[in-house]
Chains A and B, each alone.
Chain A
Amino acid sequence: MIKKSILSISLGFGLSISAATTTQTVINNYADLVYSTYSDSLDRAVVLQEDVEFFISNPGVMTLEMARESWKQARAPYGQSEVFRFYNGPIDSDQGPEGLLNAWPLDEAYIDYVEGAPNAGIVNNVADYPVITKDLLSSLNELNGEKNISTGYHAIEFLLWGQDLSATGPGNRSYTDYVIGLGQNAQRRATYLSVATDLLIDHLQTLVDAWEPNKNNYRAEFVAKNQKEALNNILAGMIYMSGDELSGERMFVAWETMGQEDEHSCFSDMTHMDIQWNFWGVANILKATGILSLTENTVLSDAINTRVAKINKMLAGLPVPFDQAILDENARVDILASIEEMEELAIELVELSEELETPVQW
């Protein structure tokens, strides 16, 4: 225990660890990081659940605001966990809950009313779905392999904020949507919100279980597997997050289409933070695992550290909200520049994977 804390103090941030760092230490450190990130996500989802329950039993301006604030807090650790994808781990294997947790963009009208369609969605479809349950919502998510999204962070986000019809702020759903007698199907909407939040917790729990230390679970397999393969998984997550998922799918697509729907958290206008959290996920791995110390190529590891710091600064400086930034001439230049930096980082991480003799193709 003491030994471990001394080690983590000596790590510093991004500086090379002592020569004693082994590949196995890096792999173990990674497993610890994954576990703590999912644990944080679960803890904050539990707080979100409490605030959601409080809101639906006492709908009001303040209680709604509290639930929204808890949703934002709950996103922070989850956003940082997304770098643990892209290698068929517990999150995105065939049976993994990724699609149930974080699928987007979603068809709002699949869930609840939207402008111009007051009776749309599962909430208002009493005939086909008389009772809203966990099983029902899970079965309707990505029904038939389609992308109809009924569960996860963004479904909850939509139920808390509503459609974002404003240029300057987020969605503006009224708490009266949840007041019985005022909002159409208020009770069903409340049940939906409550059930969707319960599901979020269930799914996060499976991830925490999969990575818990000293259990017969995925983590045990991961730390025992061929070291090169484990390193390859770790690096692939970082490379695909930096070079494709974040810079490409989440930023460039929105940049190119200038479409509000192509921002990640479009109802709450929290996309600017989603972007930063996703990137922190990459930086967290570098910091927490000491993976850079496995290479003697200090030119490369210094370049990676420098670029990570630069990208962090660039992303923090992007104007808010993101759905307006993608329309602003000056902001667009900055967004594109940060995208290019992330691609450069991906190329450097590919080089790192080659140095570590477990090349990730990108």
Chain B
Amino acid sequence: MVRNLVLTFFFVLSFNTYSSEKFPAGAGTTLDLSVNAFSHPMAGTRGMLRRYFQTGNSFFKGAWVTAPSSTPLRDGLGPVFNATSCTACHFLDGRGRGLPDTDGPTDISLLFRLRQIKENGEVIEHEKYGGQFQPHSIEGVKGEGEVFVKFETIIGSFADGETYELKKPNYIFRKLSQGKLGDTTIISPRVGPQMIGLGLLENIKEEDILEKADPEDRDGDGISGRVNRVFSVVEQREVLGRFGWKAGKPSLLEQNAAAFVGDIGITSYLFPKEECTYVQLDCEEKKTKSDISKHLLNRVTEYTQLLSVPVRRNFDDPRVKSGQKVFNQISCQACHTPSYTTGNQSKFKVLNNQKIYPYTDMLLHDMGDALADDIREYKNEAQATTREWRTPPLWGLGLIKKINGHTRFLHDGRARNLKEAILWHGGEAKEAKENFLKLKKSDREDLIKFLRSL
């Protein structure tokens, strides 16, 4: 009894210490700000849990190889794939670059989802290329082709007269192995996001997310926010979607299993079918059986759940504080919800009851024409349309440059810095963007300073 009291007292004390905005991941926040800042387990992870993290990390980093090999635990690559490891697109657990500086081939970290509109209006996966475009392949199988980007310059100006240039990417598919994509194809580019704090996002209480959903915009603020309802293969029912650029996956387990099969061609008990379409006979011939065991898929999932979030920098800088005020003043927080207290359902204590600062409402928003996958509005991923994106969390943004060597943002990396990322906002975020355009220069700079401190 006495012991329990002491423990409770200690818990309360530590909760208060780490409930400040300085510690975005609560007590598990990592203090390391080196290039490895995104790669640490929640602080204080010890013993068997830390080792499981290591095993998961090993299968996250390691290259998958062509079967049969003398390394059976890591074989089963392909037959078609985007990359041979998770790391390839989430280098150092960070964010993919997506696009080159000038016209040319797209980066390996950028993948494309493909949908086809049937004559009756139904949207299905592409008949010849499947649900995802895979440029690479194992020996004896044809890769699906190459993607190039050609930029178009968009010029605009702030209210004070300062001008800006955005680079709109146009994607060109070449050397297509299964013939033309066709006019009825919807192409959705997606870049690999940073891996930090995912277990905490998974542990945000469903009621907290639902509370902010406003699909009919009843409060009339111009911002709706829809929940993506997705089919869970684990639960065999429709549940709340949380992960992926369109919140298309309900849990990290399903997100990881889907990424394994879609991106690397690694099948598992959850997704046993390789991405070979009926015309890809070479792919069909070389397909392998279940490639990653349930056990190891769980380890990778635990790894993704335990990755920490780095401590805030320049937290007390007056200009950062002022930038935070601007953030709220122009209504960024309407979708980029600053904070939650996580639930208590995780098997990992470090993820439970933590005050966290991810800056996302986890909901879908129409982001306007410029960012839409297609000028036509269709369902693209479960309930999410071609125009809708899930609000991405903002934590870690300021460290992307150090860790990944670039400052490219948004779903395909088209924004070359944070200012451009804001300027691309449209649709429901149009008003916030327009407010940004009207700000005086020092306020704009403070806002960016604030974002960089996250």
The yes or no answer to B416 lying at the interface (CB within 8 A) is no
| Complex interface: chain B residues within 8 A of A259 (CB) | 71-74
**Measured between alpha carbons, how far is A116 from B69 in the docked complex, in Å?**
8
Contact with A along B25-55 (1 / 0, CB 8 A): 0000011101110001001001100110111
Question: B29's closest neighbor in chain A, by CB?
Answer: A361
Q: A164 to B54, alpha carbons, bound, how many Å?
A: 25
Q: Which of B66, B70, B88, B109 contacts A261 (CB 8 A)?
A: B70
Interface string of A323-347 (1 = CB under 8 A from B): 0000000000000000100010001
Alpha-carbon gap, A145 to B72, bound state (A): 23
Q: How far is the CB of A348 from chain B (nearest CB, A)?
A: 13
CB distance from B100 to the nearest CB of A (A): 13
Q: Determine if B63 and A114 form an interchain contact, defined as CB atoms under 8 angstroms apart.
A: no
Docked complex: A69-123 residues within 8 A CB-CB of B: 86-88, 93-94, 105-110, 114-117, 120
Min distance, Cβ B60 to any Cβ of chain A, angstroms: 11
Question: Which residues from chain B contact A86 at a C-beta distance below 8 Å?
Answer: 36
Instruction: Tell me which of B34, B68, B85 contacts A88 (CB under 8 A).
Output: B34
Say how far B270's CB is from chain A's closest CB, in angstroms: 20
Asked whether, in the complex, the Cβ of A149 is within 8 Å of the Cβ of B50, the reply is no
- Find chain A residues with CB under 8 A from B407 CB: none
A259 to B69, CA, bound (A): 12
Residues of B within 8 A of A148 (CB): 63, 84
Are the C-beta atoms of A261 and B73 separated by less than 8 Å?
A: yes
- Greatest chain A CB density within 10 A among B43, B57, B84 is at B84
Distance of A270 Cα from B256 Cα, bound (Å): 34
C-alpha spacing A244/B40, complex, angstroms: 10
Residues of A within 8 A of B108 (CB): 144-146
**In contact, B88 and A260 (Cβ under 8 angstroms):** no
A164 contact set on B, CB distance < 8 A: 70
Q: Let me know if B139 is at the binding interface, CB within 8 A.
A: yes
| Cβ B73 vs Cβ A262 within 8 A | yes
Asked if B91 is at the interface (CB within 8 A of a chain A CB), the reply is yes
Q: Name B54's contact: one of A106, A144, A252 (CB within 8 Å).
A: A252
For the complex, what is the distance from the CA of A243 to the CA of B57, rounded to whole Å? Answer: 14
Interface core residue of B47, B91, B139, B296 (most chain A CB under 10 Å): B139
Contact indicator per residue, chain A 236-247, by CB within 8 Å of chain B (1) or not (0)? 000000011001
Is there contact, CB below 8 Å, between A256 and B51? yes
| Chain B nearest CB, measured from A215 CB (Å) | 25
Q: How far is the CB of A92 from chain B (nearest CB, A)?
A: 9
Q: What residues on A are CB-neighbors of B88 within 8 Å?
A: 144-147
Restricting to B378-406, which residues have a CB under 8 Å from any CB of A? Answer: 405
Given the known interface contacts A146-B88, A252-B51, A259-B72, the answer about A361 and B63 at a Cβ–Cβ threshold of 8 Å is no
Complex Cα distance A147/B74, Å?
12
Contact status of A109 and B34, CB under 8 A, knowing A145-B88, A146-B84, A253-B55:
no
| A88, B35: Cβ atoms closer than 8 Å | yes
A343–B34 CA distance with the chains assembled, in angstroms: 22
Known: A115-B70, A248-B50, A361-B43. A107 touches B139 (CB 8 A): no
Is there a chain B Cβ closer than 8 Å to A301's Cβ?
no
Q: Tell me whether B448 is interfacial, beta carbon within 8 Å.
A: no
Checking B34, B61, B139, B296 against A117 with a beta-carbon cut-off of 8 angstroms, the contacting residue is B139
Docked Cα-Cα span, A131 to B40, in Å, equals 41
Judge whether A252 and B83 touch: CB under 8 Å. Answer: no
Please, what's the 1-or-0 string for A278-308, where 1 marks a CB less than 8 Å from any CB in chain B? Answer: 0000000000000000000000000000000
Residues of B contacting A105 in the complex (Cβ-Cβ under 8 angstroms)? 62-63, 71, 74
Given A261-B73, A343-B47, do A145 and B63 touch, yes or no (CB 8 Å)? Answer: no
Chain B residues, Cβ within 8 Å of A248: 50-51, 53-55
Distance in Å from the Cβ of B277 to the closest Cβ of chain A? 24
Contact among A107, A244, A339 for B65, CB-based, below 8 A: A107
CB pair A108 B35 closer than 8 Å: no
Cα distance, A107 to B62, chains bound together (Å): 10
A108 contacts B70, CB within 8 Å? yes
Q: Say yes or no: is B184 at the interface (Cβ < 8 Å to chain A).
A: no
Contacts of A197 in B (CB 8 A): none
A361 to B46, CA, bound (A): 12
- A49 interfacial by beta-carbon distance below 8 Å: no
A165 within 8 A of B: yes
* A93–B405 CA distance with the chains assembled, in angstroms: 12
Q: B84 near A147 (CB under 8 angstroms)?
A: yes
Q: Does B58 lie at the interface of the complex (its beta carbon under 8 Å from any beta carbon of A)?
A: yes
Inside 8 A of A107's CB, which chain B residues have their CB?
A: 63, 65-66, 69, 71, 84
A343 to B35, CA, bound (A): 23
Write the chain A residue with the least CB distance to B47: A343
* B50 contacts A343, C-beta separation under 8 Å: yes
Query: Which A residue sits closest to B405, measured CB to CB?
Result: A94
Q: Is A253 within 8 A of B63, CB to CB?
A: no
17 A-B pairs in the complex with CB atoms less than 8 angstroms apart: A94-B405, A107-B63, A107-B84, A108-B70, A108-B71, A120-B66, A144-B88, A145-B89, A146-B108, A147-B61, A249-B54, A256-B51, A260-B71, A261-B72, A347-B46, A361-B31, A361-B43
Extra inter-chain contacts (7) besides given A146-B108, A147-B63, A259-B73, CB under 8 Å: A86-B36, A88-B35, A94-B405, A146-B85, A243-B50, A248-B55, A249-B54
For the complex of A and B, 9 pairs with smallest distance between CB atoms = A147-B63, A248-B54, A261-B71, A107-B65, A259-B73, A144-B108, A252-B51, A163-B70, A253-B58
